[in-house]
Amino acid sequence: MELRRWPRKNDAESIRARQEVVRGLTDDGEVLWDELSPWERANEALTGVAVIPVSVIGPLPISLGQYELREPDGVVAETGRGLEDVFVPLAHTEGGLSASLYRGARAAAESGGFRTYVLHDRITRASCFVCKSAADAVELASWLDAELPSLQAWVAEQDDPSLSKRARLREVKTHVVGPMCHVLWRWTTGDAVGANMMTRNSYVLNMGYVLERAPVPIERSLLEGNMGGDKKPSFEYFQTGHGKTVIAECTLTDDAVRRVLRTTIDDLLELAWVGTHGAVASGMQSVAFTPASAIAAIFAATGQDIGMVGTSSMAHGAGRRVDGGLNVSIRLPGLEVATVGGGTTLPYARSWLRLMGCAGGGKVYRFAQIVAAATLALEISASAAMATAGSENFFRAHHERGGLR
Amino acid sequence: MELRRWPRKNDAESIRARQEVVRGLTDDGEVLWDELSPWERANEALTGVAVIPVSVIGPLPISLGQYELREPDGVVAETGRGLEDVFVPLAHTEGGLSASLYRGARAAAESGGFRTYVLHDRITRASCFVCKSAADAVELASWLDAELPSLQAWVAEQDDPSLSKRARLREVKTHVVGPMCHVLWRWTTGDAVGANMMTRNSYVLNMGYVLERAPVPIERSLLEGNMGGDKKPSFEYFQTGHGKTVIAECTLTDDAVRRVLRTTIDDLLELAWVGTHGAVASGMQSVAFTPASAIAAIFAATGQDIGMVGTSSMAHGAGRRVDGGLNVSIRLPGLEVATVGGGTTLPYARSWLRLMGCAGGGKVYRFAQIVAAATLALEISASAAMATAGSENFFRAHHERGGLR
Amino acid sequence: MELRRWPRKNDAESIRARQEVVRGLTDDGEVLWDELSPWERANEALTGVAVIPVSVIGPLPISLGQYELREPDGVVAETGRGLEDVFVPLAHTEGGLSASLYRGARAAAESGGFRTYVLHDRITRASCFVCKSAADAVELASWLDAELPSLQAWVAEQDDPSLSKRARLREVKTHVVGPMCHVLWRWTTGDAVGANMMTRNSYVLNMGYVLERAPVPIERSLLEGNMGGDKKPSFEYFQTGHGKTVIAECTLTDDAVRRVLRTTIDDLLELAWVGTHGAVASGMQSVAFTPASAIAAIFAATGQDIGMVGTSSMAHGAGRRVDGGLNVSIRLPGLEVATVGGGTTLPYARSWLRLMGCAGGGKVYRFAQIVAAATLALEISASAAMATAGSENFFRAHHERGGLR
Amino acid sequence: MELRRWPRKNDAESIRARQEVVRGLTDDGEVLWDELSPWERANEALTGVAVIPVSVIGPLPISLGQYELREPDGVVAETGRGLEDVFVPLAHTEGGLSASLYRGARAAAESGGFRTYVLHDRITRASCFVCKSAADAVELASWLDAELPSLQAWVAEQDDPSLSKRARLREVKTHVVGPMCHVLWRWTTGDAVGANMMTRNSYVLNMGYVLERAPVPIERSLLEGNMGGDKKPSFEYFQTGHGKTVIAECTLTDDAVRRVLRTTIDDLLELAWVGTHGAVASGMQSVAFTPASAIAAIFAATGQDIGMVGTSSMAHGAGRRVDGGLNVSIRLPGLEVATVGGGTTLPYARSWLRLMGCAGGGKVYRFAQIVAAATLALEISASAAMATAGSENFFRAHHERGGLR
C-alpha cells in the first residue's frame, strides 16, 4: 500500500482497513481492539492500543496548598493548606521503580510527610517578527514593551471564535537579536496545559494586532521562533518556568533515614555534594537523580502529554542538614500538567486522575503538587540506594558474606 | 490504610486488596483489570492498567543501514543498506500529531524517502571515587586512564553471576574535580538499553577491582556521581551520545515542499534561521521543533522507558539548500531504545515492535533508525506548518477571505 | 622573605622595599618605575608597571544614539541620534588584530557605517537568604516580591554614608531552591560599572531591611550566592543583561564585501550557518567569532576591569541577506563598561577614553556603543577571512601559484 | 581624515602621523610615546601605550610539579615535584584585589602551601567540511576517524615552510550534524599558546590532505566552524580542556581559617553549598567566585592574550572537610598561557614572566601552575569575605558598634 493511499480517518471502516493491513505484522493481534471509538478524536489513523501496567502507591501524606490565580496580576496565591493522604498511580514497566518510590514515601511519612508549594504558573508562546534591520527590531520591541495593557484589552474584546477566553495574556517579554524581535507571550490557561489555546491566541495577536499596528515594517511573522520552550528543555524555562513551578520538600528524621532508607544523613549529604558537582561537570542542567522516572509514570497513567516528560522533569534538588534531620526538596520549574483537556478526559486516564481527586476543573494545582511529592519520594529512595551501595563498608560486608552477589 | 501496611506484592490476593481500596476512588473501575499477571514482574504493587490509543502511519520508505559492532574497538560499522517500507505505531492523545507526521512522511516519500545512519553506541555509568585530596584523585585518574586493558580482561574472566556478559566495557574516561575522581565507564549492551547490566558490572568493577588495587586510599566510592546522564539531558551526552547516536535525513524536492507541505524552501530556511537563533537565545540545548512528540509516541507503544523521553529527544536538526531541493536532517545523539529486555517483551509492546520488524535480538539499530526517520517526518511537517502560518501572505489571504478564522 | 612580612602599603618606602626584593628576579628592572604614585589607591603592594602597545584605528563612522534612563522605571530611552567619526584605541600584542578590525571598519564605512543601540542597563547583586525550610523560603520570596516600593523608599531615606546614592534599586527578582531564597537586586549605577556601590547598598538592604522585617526566621544571609553573574558568564545574563545591553549593526553592500573583504555574501552566510551550528554542537553560549579580542583591547586601553572581559564578550551575532546587501549585527548583553570610577580616571586610561569623547560623566552609553561597533568591525573582517580561507577555489588558486605558502 | 587613508604601517613617519591626528583628542598626550619600536611587530597602526600598575605578591609557597609530554601519546606526565616560593605580578586597577589575594596566600602558607597539577595539554582547531548530504558527512567522518596515523605521518614529512613543526597533531575527533562534518584537530604546541601555528597546520591538513583524498565530494571547507573554542567559553572545553588543564589545591587548617581568614570552615562550606546551587540556578557554567580577576591580572602583566581571559577563567572549584581542615581546590580546564611567542618576549611582559622563573622555553607548565595557585589564593580570600560578611553575627556586631558604617 502506498503512503498516499493510507486511510487516515477514524470511521469504523478506515480503522478496520488499517487493522487488516497490519494484523499479520503484529505479534498476535491483541493490540487491534475492535472498539476504539472513545479515542476517535485523540489520534488520527487509530489502529489499536498500548496497555501499560499501573501500580498504585500510597497513601502519601502531603500538606497540600490551595491556590488561586490572583487578578489582575496572575500571581499564584496560597489560600489554604491541609494534610491529605493521596494514592498515586504509576504506569511503567521499570522493575523496582514503584517499590523504590514506596520506600521514599514511607521515609517521608515517618518524618511528618511532604509539603508542597506552587510558586508560579505561566505558559509561553514565543513568536518572532523579522524586520529589515536591528534598528527596526529594537523599535518594535520598545513599542511592544509598552503595549501590554492595550494588547490585553484588545484580546478581551475580540469575539473571534478561534480565540480562547480561558487563556489570559499576562506579560510580554521582547528579546532582540539582529533583525529578529522575539516576543514571549506569557499566558495562564486554567486547568489545561493550554498549548493549543495560547497558540491560537498568539496567532490572532500577531496577525490582528502586531502586524496591523507595528511602528515599523515587518518582513516576516513566525508564530514560534523557538524561545517558547515547547517540549525541549532550556535554561529560560529551567529558571522562569513553563507550566507550573512547584516545590516539594520533606525533613527526614535521622530515624527514618536509618531505619527506612538504611543509610545516614552524612552519606546522603556526601552523595548530594558529589552529584551536584558531577552535574556541573557534565553540563547537566538539572541537579537531581531520577525525576523523569516518576513524572513519566504519572503522566502515562493520567493522559498527560508524554512528549512533555523532558521539560516537565527539569529539576533542581537540594539537601541540607537542619534541626530535626535532613531537609530535602525538589523544584520542578516546568511541570506541564492538566486536569482538563488533552488526554485527561479519556477512559483510563480520567480514572487515574480521579483516584487522586484531580479530575476536572479547579484541580490542576493540586495535581501539580502531588506529582512533585511523588517525584521527591522517588528521589529520596533512589538517592539512599546510591549513597550506600558503593561504600567501602557495604563492600566489606558483602565480601565477608562471601562474594559480590 | 497506613503506608507501611500497603500490600506491595503482585500475588492475586494483594492485587485484589489494592483494587478494593482504590475502586471507589477511580472513575468507574474500568482500569482495574482482573488479569494483570503478564506484568507481574514489571511493576510492583500492580493494581490496574493505562490504555493509550495507537495510530499506525505508513508505510514510510527508509533506506536503512545494517550495522554491527566491530570488535574489539566497538565501532558501529555499516555492513549493508536497503530501502524498506515501514509502518510506525504512535501511542498518544495529541490530536493532529499523527496527521502531521503522516504529512511529513508523504513529503519525504515523494522526495525519495528517508536515509538513516547509526553513528555510535555507548551507554555510560559514571562512578565517583572521593579521595582525601586532589593529589590523590589525580593519581587515581592517571592510573585508571592506563588500566583499560586490564579492566576489560578482569571483567571477562570473572564468573560472578551478578555480572552481565552482554555488557562490554569499551572505554574509561576520568574527570577530576577537587578530591573527586569521576570515572565514566562506557559500555555496549547489545539490544537492551542496558541500564541495569552496566550498573551491576560497574559496581563489580568499582568494588572488586578499583577499591582493591587503587594506588591511593579511596574514602568513598559512589556508583553514580551524576556524570552518567541517566534520564537527565546534559551537554556531555548531547555531544558524545548515550544509547544510540542516529541521524536521519531527506532531501525534499521543491515540488514536495510546495504540494505536500504547502510552503517553500525559502520559508523553511527562514524558519530554521530564526529557530536556531531562538534556541540559542533561550539557552535551549537542542535545535529542533518537536522531536519529543514523535519519540514519546513510539516509546509508549513499544515498551520503551518513557522516563528516557527527555534524554532520547535531545536533537540537533539542520537544513540546507542543495542541488535537488532542501536537505533536512536530525541528529539524535542519545536514543535509548531496546528491542529486548525491559518492557519490550510484554504484551502490546511486543506486537508494536513486531509491526516494525523490530522485536527481539539483532534489531536495535534497525529500531533506532526507524525512530529517527519518524522523528524527522514530524519535524518536516511541524516546521512547514510554522513556516507559513504566520507569514504576511498567509495573513493577507485570510483577511481577504474575511477574517482570521 | 616570609609571606607575612611582605610590605603591603603603597608609601614610597614600601614600594622601594618590594622593588629591591624583586629587582634581581626581573629581566632588566625596566618595569620598576620610580614614580608609581598616580596608582597608589588602585592596587595594593604596587611595585611596577605593565606597558601594552596601543594602536589607534579610525575614524569609524557610527550612528550613535543618545540615551537617558527614564524615571521612575529605569528604561533606557533614545533621545537623539547622530553620525560621528570615532577613533578607537586597541591595547594588545596580537599581530593582525588591528589590521583586521581596520578592514572591517572600512567595509562598514563603505556601506554607510555602523548603527548602534543601547537596549538595557542593569547590574545585579544576588544575595541569598537561607531559611530552615523551603516553606519559609517561599514565604520570604512572596513577601520580597511585593516589597519593591518599600525597599526603594527605605534606601532613599537612609543617610548611611556607606550607601551610594547613585546606585538605584530598580527591580527585585526572587528564586527559591529548597531552603534558599536567592534575591536578585537589580540596580542602575550611572556611568560607573557599580560593582562596589551595588554591593554596599545590597548589604545594607539585606541587613537593615530584610533581616529586620522578614516574615520568617533567616538562618544565614549571604551577600552573593552566585546568581549575580560577577565575572563569570551565565545564561541568566547572556539573556537578561549585566551592565549595558548593546547592539551594533551594519548592512554591508555587495560591493564592500567583494572589494574590501574579498569574499561574497553567500560565503559569509554559509560560514554563519556552519558557525552557528558549531556553537550549538560544542555547547558554546555565544554565537560569534572573536568578540573578546576587540573588547579586551579596548578594555586594556581604557582602564576597564579586564576581569570582566569574559562576561562582557558574551555575544549573539546574526547575519541575514536583505535588500542592499548583508545585514550583520552583534548583541552584547553584558557589556560592563564605565567612564567614571575604577581605572578610568588614571593616567593613560583617561587619555584613551578622551580620544573617543568618552571620559567622565554622561558618557557611558556612548562608550558602550563604540565598543560594540568596534567589536562588530572585527567580527566582519574575521568572518570574511574564515569564509574564504578554506574554500576550494582559494586552495586551487594557491596551488596554481605553486604551493600553500 | 578618511578611514581608507588612515596610515597603517609602523614606520616612524606613520606613527608620528597618527599621533599628530589624535594628539588633540587625548587627555594630555602622555600616552603618545616617542619610542614604540619594541612593539612594531605586535600591533599594527601603533600610536601609543597603555600603562597598568603592577603589584607583586609573595612569596607564595607552591608544591610545583615538573611535567613533560610523553611521546607518542602526548600525555602530560609528572616527572618530579618541589616546593618553591614564588612572587606573582598582578596588573590591574581594582582596589582590594591584591590585598585579598595576599590574604588568601597567607592562609594557604600557614596551612602548608599550595599543591598544583597539570592534567592535560591540548589546543583545538575545529574545521568543518560541508558535504552534499549527511550520508557523505558520515562517510567522511568514518574515514577521518581511522586516518590519524596517516595524517600525523603526512604532516611530519611535509617541508612546507608555512607548517609549524612544533605543533603536533595528537587526536582527531569528528562530529556530524546534517551535511556538516566538523573535525576537531587537537594539537600540542609546546610553550606557546599556539593559535597561529595550529591554524596554519590545520589549513594545510584540510587543503593538502583532506580535500585531496576524501572519499566523498566536499562542497566547502571551513578552517574553523566554531567548535574550536577560541576565546568563547563552551561546555566542550570546560570539560575536555583548551590549553592547559590545571588543578590547584590546599588544605586550610582550622587555625588559618579562623585567624587569617576570620571565618570558619562551616561558614565556608555553607557558602560553597549556596554558591554551587546559585551557579546552577543562573545557568553559570563555572562554579567559582572570581577566578577571572586573578587570571586577568597575571595575563595583563605577562603579555598573555587578554582576549583569552574568559576562556582561561572557566573554573570548577570544590571544598570538602577532611582530616586536618578544609580541602579547597580549583580546576582550570582551559588555561591558555604561554612563555614563548605572542606578547611574552616584549618589554615589561618578559620581566614579569622572569620574576616567576617563567620566561622562555620549557616553562609553560610551571607558569600554568603558578596562575592556578594565585587564582586559588584569591578564591580562598574572596570566599571568606563573602562567607562572613552577611552573617547575622557580623550584622549584630556592627549594630552594637553603632551602625552599619
Write out pLDDT tens, residues A295-338: 999 999 999 999 999 999 999 999 999 999 999 999 999 999 99
- Whether residues D133 and B179 touch (CB distance < 8 A) is answered with no
Alpha-carbon distance B23 to D301, whole Å? 76
CA distances to A83, A237, A239, B227, C54 from A292, rounded to whole Å, are: 25, 16, 18, 16, 55
Q: Cite the active site residues of D.
A: 94, 305, 398
Residue C27 with chain D: CB contacts under 8 Å: 350-351, 353-354, 359
Q: Cite the active site residues of A.
A: 94, 305, 398
Q: What is the ipTM of this complex?
A: 0.96
Interface test with B, best of A102, A160, A226 (most B CBs within 10 A): A226
3-state secondary structure chain A: CCHHHCCCCCCHHHHHHHHHHHHCCCCCCCCCCCCCHHHCCCCCCEEEEEEEEEEEEEEEEEEEEEEEEECCCCEEEEEEEEEEEEEEEEECCCCCHHHHHHHHHHHHHCCCCEEEEEEEEEEEEEEEEECCCHHHHHHHHHHHHCCHHHHHHHHHHCCCCCCCCCCEEEEEEEEEECCEEEEEEEEECCCCCCHHHHHHHHHHHHHHHHHHHCCCCCCEEECCCCCCCCCCCEHHHHHHCCEEEEEEEEEECHHHHHHCCCCCHHHHHHHHHHHHHHHHHCCECCECCCHHHHHHHHHHHHCCCHHHHHHHCCCEEEEEEECCEEEEEEEEEEECCCCCCHHHHCCCHHHHHHHCCCCCCCCHHHHHHHHHHHHHHHHHHHHHHHHHHCCHHHHHHHHHCCCCC
- Whether residues A43 and B278 touch (CB distance < 8 A) is answered with no
Q: pLDDT confidence of B28, banded at 50, 70, 90?
A: confident
Furthest CA-CA distance within chain D: 79
- Whether residues C316 and B280 touch (CB distance < 8 A) is answered with yes
Alpha-carbon distance C172 to C150, whole Å? 12
Residue C251 with chain A: CB contacts under 8 Å: 133
- Write down which chains contact chain C via at least 3 CB pairs under 8 A: A, B, D
| Residues comprising chain D, all counted | 405
> Is D65's pLDDT higher than 80?
yes
> Is C234's pLDDT higher than 50?
yes
- Whether residues D319 and B133 touch (CB distance < 8 A) is answered with no
Alpha-carbon distance B337 to B352, whole Å? 14
Beta-bridged to residue A183, according to DSSP, are A127, A174
The pLDDT value recorded for residue A394 is: 46
> Is D391's pLDDT higher than 60?
no
- Whether residues C60 and D3 touch (CB distance < 8 A) is answered with yes
CA of B7 to nearest chain C CA: how many angstroms apart? 32
- Whether residues C281 and B320 touch (CB distance < 8 A) is answered with no
Of B113, B96, B118, the residue nearest B59 (C-alpha): B113
- Whether residues C282 and D310 touch (CB distance < 8 A) is answered with no
The pLDDT value recorded for residue A390 is: 54
Q: Share the mean pLDDT of chain B.
A: 94
Q: Share the mean pLDDT of chain D.
A: 94
More confident residue, B210 or A397: B210
> Is B117's pLDDT higher than 70?
yes
Q: What is the pTM of this model?
A: 0.96
Residue with cell 587503587: B214
Q: pLDDT confidence of D394, banded at 50, 70, 90?
A: very low
Interface test with B, best of D250, D251, D320 (most B CBs within 10 A): D320
The pLDDT value recorded for residue D2 is: 73
The pLDDT value recorded for residue C316 is: 98
Section A212-221 average pLDDT: 96
Residue A287 with chain B: CB contacts under 8 Å: 226
- Please tell me whether residue C208 adopts helix, strand or coil conformation: helix
- Whether residues A235 and D279 touch (CB distance < 8 A) is answered with no
Write the Ramachandran bin of A112: left for phi over 0, alpha for psi from -120 to 50, otherwise beta.
left
The pLDDT value recorded for residue B2 is: 74
- Whether residues A329 and C134 touch (CB distance < 8 A) is answered with yes
Residues of D with CB under 8 A from a CB of A: 235, 238-239, 273, 276-277, 279-283, 285, 287, 316, 318, 320
The pLDDT value recorded for residue B1 is: 64
CA of B69 to nearest chain D CA: how many angstroms apart? 14
3-state secondary structure chain D: CCHHHCCCCCCHHHHHHHHHHHHCCCCCCCCCCCCCHHHCCCCCCEEEEEEEEEEEEEEEEEEEEEEEEECCCCEEEEEEEEEEEEEEEEECCCCCHHHHHHHHHHHHHCCCCEEEEEEEEEEEEEEEEECCCHHHHHHHHHHHHCCHHHHHHHHHHCCCCCCCCCCEEEEEEEEEECCEEEEEEEEECCCCCCHHHHHHHHHHHHHHHHHHHCCCCCCEEECCCCCCCCCCCEHHHHHHCCEEEEEEEEEECHHHHHHCCCCCHHHHHHHHHHHHHHHHHCCECCECCCHHHHHHHHHHHHCCCHHHHHHHCCCEEEEEEECCEEEEEEEEEEECCCCCCHHHHCCCHHHHHHHCCCCCCCCHHHHHHHHHHHHHHHHHHHHHHHHHHCCHHHHHHHHHCCCCC
Pick from B43, B220, B237: CB nearest A53:
B43
Question: pLDDT digits over A265-294, tens only?
Answer: 999 999 999 999 999 999 999 999 999 999
Contacts of A6 (CB under 8 A, 6+ apart): A18, A45, B57, B58, B59, B102
Question: pLDDT digits over C205-233, tens only?
Answer: 999 999 999 999 999 999 999 999 999 99
CA B7 to chain centre: 33
Residue C319 with chain B: CB contacts under 8 Å: none
The pLDDT value recorded for residue C29 is: 78
The pLDDT value recorded for residue C252 is: 98
Q: Cite the active site residues of C.
A: 94, 305, 398
Least confident of B56-65, B124-133, B393-402: B393-402
Of D320, D399, D331, the residue nearest D368 (C-alpha): D331
Section C323-328 average pLDDT: 96
Cβ-Cβ pairs closer than 8 A, C with D, add up to 529
The pLDDT value recorded for residue D162 is: 85
Pick from C99, C222, C299: CB nearest D386:
C222
The pLDDT value recorded for residue C402 is: 39
Least confident of B392-401, C196-205, D357-366: B392-401
> Is C244's pLDDT higher than 70?
yes
Nearest CA in chain C to A145: C75
Beta-bridged to residue D243, according to DSSP, are D122
Of A242, A307, A28, A199, the residue nearest B101 (C-alpha): A307
> Is B103's pLDDT higher than 50?
yes
Question: pLDDT digits over B363-389, tens only?
Answer: 999 999 999 999 999 999 999 999 875
- Whether residues D54 and C56 touch (CB distance < 8 A) is answered with no
- Whether residues B327 and D138 touch (CB distance < 8 A) is answered with no
Section D173-185 average pLDDT: 98
Residue D141 with chain B: CB contacts under 8 Å: 119
Interface test with D, best of A240, A271, A273, A328 (most D CBs within 10 A): A273
Interface test with A, best of D236, D269, D280, D284 (most A CBs within 10 A): D280
